[in-house]
């Protein structure tokens, strides 16, 4: 931080003097005082590697908490970019990120670096898929779910069960928050139920999303706080303390059966696997094999994601080509993405050929726009 005479300096130090690094002993002093962590636990955190899958509201909160706790390496994977509507609840982003449409993983890395330069953040602007999941998640000791769809959660569950890695499910919608630890066979007390034990099939019907039901930032932060606390138990050598239930809260509606309003809290037992579970029981990994993965998925906010085109894109050449179209507006690009508008549709393209088409949920229209302006 530059020397500031207005902050009461005596003027004895040079304005160009190098900044004093913040010691770990000072930074983590209050956390080390907590008996559950202590000095040994802090050393374990410094050596740990955690992956956060998704960096929207949940992922931003969880990544921030992990970084401030001193987890030495954090992998952040996210396919999306920052928008103004994110700022109400996505704690790692600011207005400049939204104006620049920065990819969330990279924006998160930059902000974390500013408040904790002593850890390493690996930012991956990508859609987690069967083809890249092993490469992206192999280094991590524990996986944190911060996704917005069950397709990715079932993929994560397949991978974690196959590889014997613990992972923590977390979700929030409206004022509702939920988390669950999924623990492998080598865990203290043996394996817990996996996601497919509790939800054998993805939820069906008209499911509420943040776009239909809204969301409270407080619900997100509660789920993230529980999720990261459970991860800290694992990383600091206290696996016996990890919860073995699907835990949920409704922060807005009080429990009606009690005389005084209180937090509506529920727990579903998840201590043991379901014997007939296709994933952890029969070890059938259909999501990991790609059998259940659609080539195009909806992003949940009047958008279609197109991710079957995997090839490098020359942004300079494409920008020049787009400029020749009289109906193309607001072409913007940097090293991380290229974005343009055409009528009511906004198309955001990433360097690997993946794109998000906003302004429609019509898959065929999204394909048509992609093929016309980016290429088949």
Per mean pLDDT, which of 79-88, 157-166, 351-360 is the most reliable?
157-166
CATH number (3.30.310, 1.10.3470, 3.90.550, 3.10.20) of 296-373 reads: 3.30.310
pLDDT tens digits, one per residue of 122-167: 999 988 999 999 999 999 999 999 998 888 999 999 999 999 999 9
Q: What percent of the chain has pLDDT over 90?
A: 66
Which residues are tagged catalytic?
Answer: 210
Q: Under CATH, what is the fold of the domain 21-269?
A: Rossmann fold (3.40.50)
- Of 102-106, 218-222, 237-241, 323-327, give the lowest mean pLDDT range: 323-327
- Of 202-206, 273-277, 322-326, 359-363, give the lowest mean pLDDT range: 202-206
| pLDDT top residue among 368 and 77 | 77
Instruction: Provide the Cα torsion 324, 328, 329, 335; round to 10°.
Output: -70
Strand-pair category, 245-250 with 49-53: unpaired
pLDDT at position 14 over 50? no
What confidence score (pLDDT) does residue 10 get?
Answer: 35
Position 212 confidence tier, pLDDT thresholds 50, 70, 90: low
Provide the token pair at 74. 């954090």
Strand-pair category, 73-78 with 49-53: parallel
Label residue 124 left, alpha or beta by phi (over 0 means left) and psi (-120 to 50 means alpha): beta
Please give the average per-residue pLDDT across 277-281, as a whole number: 97
Please give the average per-residue pLDDT across 69-73, as a whole number: 98
Q: How far apart are CA 249 and CA 255, in angstroms?
A: 10
Q: 45, 72, 54, 225: which is closest to 123 by C-alpha?
A: 54
What confidence score (pLDDT) does residue 206 get?
Answer: 54
Please give the average per-residue pLDDT across 98-122, as a whole number: 95
Q: What is the pTM of this model?
A: 0.82
What confidence score (pLDDT) does residue 7 get?
Answer: 31
What confidence score (pLDDT) does residue 279 get?
Answer: 97
191 contact partners, CB below 8 Å, separation of at least 6: 183, 184, 185, 272, 273, 280
Side-chain-side CA neighbours of 292 within 13 Å: the count stands at 15
- What are the distances in angstroms from CA 157 to CA 133, 277, 286, 287? 11, 12, 11, 9
Inter-residue contact 142 to 184 (CB < 8 Å): no
What confidence score (pLDDT) does residue 23 get?
Answer: 94
DSSP 222-245: HHHHHHHHHHHHHHTT-GGGS--E
pLDDT tens digits, one per residue of 36-66: 999 999 999 999 999 999 999 999 999 999 9
Q: What percent of the chain has pLDDT over 70?
A: 86
Q: How far apart are CA 118 and CA 122, in angstroms?
A: 13
pLDDT at position 169 over 70? yes
Q: How far apart are CA 41 and CA 185, in angstroms?
A: 23
What confidence score (pLDDT) does residue 161 get?
Answer: 98
pLDDT at position 298 over 70? no
- Tell me how crowded residue 32 is: count the other CB atoms within 10 A of its CB: 18
pLDDT at position 15 over 70? no
3-state secondary structure of 50: strand
Q: How far apart are CA 158 and CA 165, in angstroms?
A: 10
35 contact partners, CB below 8 Å, separation of at least 6: none
Q: Which residues, in sequence order, are bridge partners of residue 121?
A: 74
What are the sequence ranges of the domains in the chain? Answer: 21-269, 296-373
Side-chain-side CA neighbours of 15 within 13 Å: the count stands at 4
What confidence score (pLDDT) does residue 159 get?
Answer: 98
The helix (H) or strand (E) run that includes residue 107 is helix 104-115
């Amino acid at each position: 931080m530059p020397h500031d005479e207005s902050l009461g300096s005596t003027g004895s130090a040079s304005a160009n003097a190098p900044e004093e690094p913040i010691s770990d002993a000072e930074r983590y002093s209050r956390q080390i005082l907590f008996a559950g962590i202590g000095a040994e636990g802090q050393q374990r955190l410094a050596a740990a590697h955690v992956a956060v899958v998704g960096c929207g509201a949940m992922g931003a909160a969880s990544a921030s908490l992990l970084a401030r706790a001193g987890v030495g390496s954090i992998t952040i994977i996210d396919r999306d970019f920052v928008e103004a509507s994110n700022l109400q609840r996505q704690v790692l982003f600011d207005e400049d990120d939204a104006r620049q449409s920065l990819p969330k993983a990279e924006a998160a890395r930059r902000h974390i670096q500013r408040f904790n330069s002593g850890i390493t953040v690996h930012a991956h602007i990508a859609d987690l898929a069967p083809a890249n999941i092993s490469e992206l998640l192999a280094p991590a000791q524990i996986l944190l779910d911060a996704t917005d769809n069950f397709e990715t959660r079932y993929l994560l569950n397949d991978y974690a069960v196959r590889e014997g890695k613990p992972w923590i499910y977390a979700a929030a919608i409206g004022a509702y928050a939920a988390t669950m630890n999924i623990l492998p066979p080598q865990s203290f007390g043996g394996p817990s139920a996996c996601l497919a034990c509790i939800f054998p099939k993805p939820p069906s019907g008209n499911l509420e999303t943040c776009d239909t039901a809204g969301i409270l930032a407080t619900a997100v932060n509660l789920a993230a706080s529980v999720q990261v606390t459970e991860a800290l138990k694992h990383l600091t050598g206290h696996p016996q303390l990890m919860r073995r239930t699907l835990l949920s809260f409704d922060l807005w509606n009080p429990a009606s059966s009690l005389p005084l309003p209180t937090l509506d809290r529920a727990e579903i037992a998840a201590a043991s696997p379901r014997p007939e579970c296709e994933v952890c029981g029969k070890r059938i990994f259909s999501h990991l094999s790609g059998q259940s993965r659609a080539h195009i998925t909806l992003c949940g906010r009047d958008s279609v994601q197109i991710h079957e085109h995997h090839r490098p894109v020359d942004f300079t050449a494409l920008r020049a080509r787009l400029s020749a179209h009289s109906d193309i507006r607001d072409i913007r690009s940097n090293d991380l993405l290229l974005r343009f508008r055409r009528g009511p549709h906004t198309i955001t393209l990433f360097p690997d050929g993946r794109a998000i088409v906003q302004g429609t949920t019509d898959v065929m229209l999204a394909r048509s726009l992609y093929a016309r302006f980016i290429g088949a």
